[in-house]
Chains A and B, each alone.
Chain A
Amino acid sequence: MSALLSVRGLGKRFGGLTALHDVSFAVGAGEIVGVMGANGAGKTTLFSLIAGNSRPSAGTIEFDGAPVVGLRPDQICRRGVARTFQIVKPFPSLTVLENLRTGAMFGHAQLRRRADADAASLQVLEEVGLASFAERLASSLTLSGQKRLEIARCVATGARLLLLDEVMAGLTPTEVGQMLTTLRHLQASRGLTLLVIEHVMRALMELCGRIVVLHHGELIAEGTPAQIGDNEKVLSVYFGAHA
């Protein structure tokens, strides 16, 4: 499997604080890869570097064989990378459909005509179960709805790689189950590649084919969910030295 995303020697310092240090991994096209780690491990920083919201202090990031470090977030989005935010950032006074229209018009898909953008957006809303809310204001959605909206907005860009930052945090077990179904469907039907930060372990273990684990900004383990579950270093970080 060829690497769609390749991260090599990635580092990020904020003054004296090292948020990421020498992180390297690759994600193949069509893979679902989880990113695990305690709070402050550097997971969201990693997403911000890949999406262009922040510039790395060291290392390279390649998407589809081309370097993306130094590009603006909008340029990276047009290349085919879209991200959600840990704290959701919908466009509150726009409708759900208008939220998606932005992604469809300006993202990788570049559907510049409103009719084309809306048709594609409605298709995505059907797939994530928000079609009946298309004309509602985004601010009227529940947290679960707003998380779905963020995913839908990313899909509407026509992105090939989705960076999903805790899209299941704060959801009920039923909603987590529905979200897993939606993500699997989107991945299968659209051939998407997903990089998923999640604290809901059950979801991460069920969804991902591979997991990378960050601790204090360093990549300490990489493997299948079963391998990660048995990894002594990971167990030590999560449960203490004598786990």
Chain B
Amino acid sequence: MNNLWGDRAWLAAVTIGVIAMSALPFVANDYLVGTGLTLLMWLALTQSWCVLSKMTGYVSLGHVVFYGLGAYLMVVTWQQLPFVVVILAAGVLAALFAALVGLPVLRVRGPYFVILTFGLAELVKFSIMAAESASGTASRILFGTPDLVVVYFSMFALALLATGLLTWVSRSRFGHGLRSLRENEEAAETLGVPVVRFKLIAFVLSAAIPGMVGAVMALRSTYFVVGGVFDPMISITVIAMAILGGGDNAKGPVLGVVFLFLIQELLWANAPLLYMIILGAILITFVLLLPNGLVGLAGARTRRREARAVEARP
């Protein structure tokens, strides 16, 4: 493929991105490192969300529940276990939770699945809130958290893991099965795709990473309130980034996250009231005019250029 957004260009962009983000903590101040950390967090969350929602068409509005569970595990186990162990355990906890609720939750689809996942996240949030209140805890503070650079590289590893996971899924036989069931579940099943098993595996894979991301971000914020780590805006922002990026491979989230993150950074400080209005307008524009997101836009430009090249041939 010789288009600008082809495999070679993608590989080059990823390589440059990895080098730049690896160098950031050594050349930038803490503010910029923190900004890079947030960018990597959104990347990991969006890539992992796409493993389920973009690949299968099951749009989850409850991705934050895994993030929140991971953060909560880090907070309640802080200074009792090595934080690396807790990060991994957070991934296992989120995956186990997904496996537990997956079978009943994945029986419904479309708007019912959206509402159900949102409700599930809220249920967990208020259950933990009740448990915290019962123990007399309104919030928690973490002392002695690791250095920002350690937190940064932990998140960097998770972003790479999530990108690698979606890249593998989108190119694999498993991913082809997920795409087929997204298109028509009944037809896919009668062609041999084990739809229930595949959906559950995708759900579990999609859940493990936000669990670990939540655990890492608890180390960054050091201040824990239940409402903060289970904030539905986290799920909504992830969906917005995935819609803006488009596609069902790892390229879309990269474009969507960078695009929305830049808008956030530019507008949030300068025009906070305008930010939400502009974000809304951008999302409406993308849904109506660019349903395949930035990936689709890049693809359309390439196809037009190739069509002109064909027409120009003698």
The interface of chain A, by Cβ under 8 A from chain B, is 51-53, 72-74, 77-78, 82-83, 85, 89-94, 98, 101-103, 105-108, 112, 114, 153-154, 157
Rounded to whole Å, the gap between the CB of A149 and the closest CB of chain B is: 11
Please tell me if the beta carbons of B173 and A105 are within 8 angstroms of each other in the complex.
yes
Residues of B within 8 A of A89 (CB): 184, 186-187
Q: Which of B173, B190, B194, B196 contacts A53 (CB 8 A)?
A: B190
Known: A74-B192, A74-B195, A102-B193. A85 touches B176 (CB 8 A): no
Interface size on B, residues (CB 8 A): 18
Please tell me if the beta carbons of B179 and A94 are within 8 angstroms of each other in the complex.
yes
Please tell me if the beta carbons of B194 and A72 are within 8 angstroms of each other in the complex.
yes
Please tell me if the beta carbons of B183 and A74 are within 8 angstroms of each other in the complex.
no
Residues of A within 8 A of B187 (CB): 85, 89-91
Please tell me if the beta carbons of A91 and B180 are within 8 angstroms of each other in the complex.
yes
The docked-state distance in angstroms from the alpha carbon of A74 to that of B198 is 12
The docked-state distance in angstroms from the alpha carbon of A77 to that of B187 is 11
Residues of A within 8 A of B180 (CB): 91, 94, 102, 106
Rounded to whole Å, the gap between the CB of B19 and the closest CB of chain A is: 31
The docked-state distance in angstroms from the alpha carbon of A157 to that of B106 is 26
The docked-state distance in angstroms from the alpha carbon of A108 to that of B190 is 11
Rounded to whole Å, the gap between the CB of A95 and the closest CB of chain B is: 11
Q: Which of B176, B177, B190 contacts A51 (CB 8 A)?
A: B190
Majority SS at the chain B contact face: helix
Residues of B within 8 A of A72 (CB): 189, 194, 196
Nearest 9 pairs between A and B by C-beta?
Answer: A106-B192, A91-B183, A89-B187, A77-B192, A107-B192, A102-B180, A73-B189, A103-B191, A73-B190
8 contacts between A and B (CB under 8 A): A53-B189, A73-B190, A74-B192, A74-B195, A82-B190, A89-B186, A105-B177, A106-B191
Rounded to whole Å, the gap between the CB of A38 and the closest CB of chain B is: 25
Contact of B258 with A by CB under 8 A: no
Contact of B188 with A by CB under 8 A: yes
The docked-state distance in angstroms from the alpha carbon of A83 to that of B188 is 11
Residues of B within 8 A of A90 (CB): 183-184, 187
The interface of chain B, by Cβ under 8 A from chain A, is 173, 176-177, 179-180, 183-184, 186-196
Rounded to whole Å, the gap between the CB of B311 and the closest CB of chain A is: 19
Please tell me if the beta carbons of B191 and A157 are within 8 angstroms of each other in the complex.
yes
The docked-state distance in angstroms from the alpha carbon of A93 to that of B183 is 7
Q: Which of B173, B190, B195 has the most CB of A within 10 A?
A: B190
Q: Which of B183, B189, B191, B192 contacts A92 (CB 8 A)?
A: B183
Rounded to whole Å, the gap between the CB of A89 and the closest CB of chain B is: 4
Known: A89-B184, A93-B183. A106 touches B177 (CB 8 A): yes
Known: A94-B179, A105-B176. A153 touches B191 (CB 8 A): yes
Q: Which of B173, B179, B189, B194 contacts A114 (CB 8 A)?
A: B173
Q: Which of B177, B183, B184, B192 has the most CB of A within 10 A?
A: B192
Please tell me if the beta carbons of B191 and A107 are within 8 angstroms of each other in the complex.
yes
Rounded to whole Å, the gap between the CB of A156 and the closest CB of chain B is: 8
Residues of A within 8 A of B184 (CB): 89-91
Residues of B within 8 A of A73 (CB): 186, 189-190
The docked-state distance in angstroms from the alpha carbon of A153 to that of B189 is 13
Please tell me if the beta carbons of B179 and A82 are within 8 angstroms of each other in the complex.
no
Residues of B within 8 A of A106 (CB): 173, 177, 180, 191-194
Rounded to whole Å, the gap between the CB of B199 and the closest CB of chain A is: 12
Q: Kindly report which residue of chain A lies nearest to residue B177, judged by CB atoms.
A: A106
Known: A102-B177, A102-B180. A74 touches B193 (CB 8 A): yes
Please tell me if the beta carbons of B194 and A74 are within 8 angstroms of each other in the complex.
yes
Residues of B within 8 A of A77 (CB): 189-192
